[in-house]
Amino acid sequence: MKKKNREGAVGGKAINNVINVLLALGCLTILFPLYMTVIIAFKKPSEMTNDVAGALGFPANWNFDNFIEAMRVTDFWRSLGNSLFLTGVTVIICILLHSLAGYVIGRKMAKHKLFKASYFYIVSGMFVPFAVLMMPLVKQTAQIGMANRLGVIVLYVVFFMPMNVLLYSGYLKNIPIALEEAACVDGATVWQTYWKIIFPNMKPMHATVAVLTAMSTWNDVMTPLVIMSGSDVNTLPLAQLNFQSQFGTNYNLAFASYLLALLPILIFYIICQKQIINGVVNGAVK
């Protein structure tokens, strides 16, 4: 009912219909590349004739040979496992450590200059792109034996710290200090107070942080590329990069592999669309 007022009375409906059609047509720009990926992934190389239908028409048979072959060539399950491992561990550590850091800094910022300075010091890290730190970090991680998955996780935890500390310490304003004081009177230690009272109360922010961290980690190419370059450990995106040359001109195999690489996050998106969109918006707006 509120909406009726918003859009004006008479012309509103007709205009809305036009906009409806335009927006639906616009969706094709999103769906077309995805449609093409699916179609090519199912085809045989011999079906890829030199016209538009060759690339975009339905395949003669919907069989999964390309996918089975792509899985073998890119060692799909291992890459998937690595991506899941890196993303999962990073998200868990970020939530545990950054919420604690955000709490510690946020609660004492007003009282002690040291905490306020620490806040600005960490948050200003947002201005440092990974490309700037890349070369020294490659040397540094190699020197201390961290040119591996552990090193990548530690770098993610440090790299996402500015954003997450900003989010958590900002959210702290929503948690009344009286809650803590009550716990303190009851004789709870700082540690107990944090885990029993603050951490559960930060739940909405945990969701935002988890979404933001997971998406950046999952799709990141640069960090694992430079840090783990010597090892044979692939993430899902890295596997596409490393096996590009091996696909040669077999686009069907390549697209099967791309589709496999996109599927996990697409499925995840379909399941938790609302949480993902909320997380992204919260992260940007706060």
Partner 1 sequence: MGNHTKRDKAWTKNDKIFLGILIPVLALFFFFNTLPLLKGFYYGLTNYRGYGDYDFVGLRNFKDIFTDLRVGKSYLFTFKYAVVMTIAVNLISLILALGLNREIRGKSALRGIYFVPNILGGLVVGYIFSFIFTYILPTVGEITGIGFLQNSMLASTKTAWLAIVIVGAWQGIAMNTIIYISGLQTVPAEVYEAGMIDGVSGWKKFWNLTFPLILPFFTINLVLCMKNALMVFDQIMSLTKGGPSQSTESISYLIYQNGMSGGQFGFQSANAFVFFLVIVIISFLQMKFLGGKEEQL
Please identify which residue in 202, 215, 227, 228 interacts with partner 1, judged by CB under 8 A.
Answer: 215
Site for partner 1, residues 240 to 269, rule: CB under 8 A: 240-241, 244, 251, 254-255, 258, 261-262, 265-266, 269
Site for partner 1, residues 120 to 139, rule: CB under 8 A: 121-122, 125, 127-139
User: CA angle, corner 172, sides to 276 and 213, nearest 5?
Assistant: 30
Q: Does 159 bind partner 1 (CB under 8 A)?
A: yes
**Residue span binding partner 1 (CB under 8 A) among the ranges 61-69, 150-158, 170-178, 200-208:** 150-158
**Residue span binding partner 1 (CB under 8 A) among the ranges 12-20, 61-69, 70-78, 167-175:** 12-20
Output the six-digit token pair for 160. Answer: 């996402």
Please identify which residue in 84, 85, 140, 188 interacts with partner 1, judged by CB under 8 A.
Answer: 140
**What is the maximal distance between C-alpha atoms in the chain?**
78
Please identify which residue in 14, 29, 46, 200 interacts with partner 1, judged by CB under 8 A.
Answer: 29
User: Measured between alpha carbons, how far is 181 from 196 in angstroms, rounded to an integer?
Assistant: 13
Q: Does 10 bind partner 1 (CB under 8 A)?
A: no
Q: Does 163 bind partner 1 (CB under 8 A)?
A: no
Residue listed under structure tokens 């996402």 = 160
Contacting residues for 184 by C-beta, under 8 A, at least 6 apart: 193
Label residue 165 exposed, middle or buried (CB < 10 Å: 0-12, 13-18, 19+): buried
Site for partner 1, residues 57 to 96, rule: CB under 8 A: none
Q: Does 30 bind partner 1 (CB under 8 A)?
A: yes
Site for partner 1, residues 192 to 211, rule: CB under 8 A: none
User: Measured between alpha carbons, how far is 78 from 140 in angstroms, rounded to an integer?
Assistant: 27
- DSSP-derived letter for residue 58 is P
